[in-house]
Amino acid sequence: MGRLFGTDGVRGLANGRLTAELALDLAVCAARVLGSQGRAAGHGRRPFAVVGRDPRASGEFLEAAVVAGLAGAGVDVYRAGVLPTPAVAHLTGLLGADLGVMLSASHNAMPDNGVKFFARGGHKLPDEVENNIEALLGTEWDRPTGASVGRVQDHPEGHARYVDHLLATLPHRLDGLKVVLDCANGASSRVAPDALRQAGAEVVTIHAEPNGLNINEGCGSTHLDDVKAAVVEHGADAGIAHDGDADRCLAVDANGDEVDGDQILAVLALAMRDAGTLREDTLVATVMSNLGLKLAMQSAGIKIVETAVGDRYVLEAMQAGGLTLGGEQSGHVVMLDHATTGDGTLTALHLLSRVAQTGRPLHELAAVMTRLPQVLINVSGVDRTRVQASAGLAAAVAEAEARLGGGGRVLLRPSGTEPLVRVMVEAQTHEQAEREAGTLADVVRAELAV
pLDDT of residue 418: 78
Mean pLDDT throughout 153-175? 97
Measured CA to CA in angstroms, residue 396 lies from 138, 291, 371, 381, 430 at distances of 50, 20, 25, 20, 20
Would you please indicate which residues are annotated as catalytic (active-site) residues? 106
Give yes or no for a contact between 304 and 326, defined as CB atoms under 8 angstroms apart.
Answer: no
CB burial class (10 A; 0-12, 13-18, 19+) of residue 161?
middle
CA 275 to CA 81: how far, in whole Å?
36
pLDDT of residue 37: 60
Mean pLDDT throughout 341-359? 98
Q: Give me Rg for the CA atoms of the chain.
A: 23
Give yes or no for a contact between 83 and 245, defined as CB atoms under 8 angstroms apart.
Answer: no
Q: What is the pLDDT of residues 434-447, one digit of tens each?
A: 999 999 999 999 99
Give yes or no for a contact between 423 and 439, defined as CB atoms under 8 angstroms apart.
Answer: no
Give yes or no for a contact between 48 and 80, defined as CB atoms under 8 angstroms apart.
Answer: no
CA 246 to chain CA centroid, nearest Å? 8
Q: How confident is the model at residue 123 (pLDDT cuts 50, 70, 90)?
A: very high
Mean pLDDT throughout 349-366? 98
The angle that helices 58-72 and 20-30 make with each other, rounded to 10 degrees, is 40
DSSP 72-108: HTT-EEEEEEE--HHHHHHHHHHTT-SEEEEE--TTS
pLDDT of residue 205: 98
Q: What is the pLDDT of residues 282-341, one digit of tens each?
A: 999 999 899 999 999 999 999 999 998 888 899 999 999 999 999 999 999 999 999 999
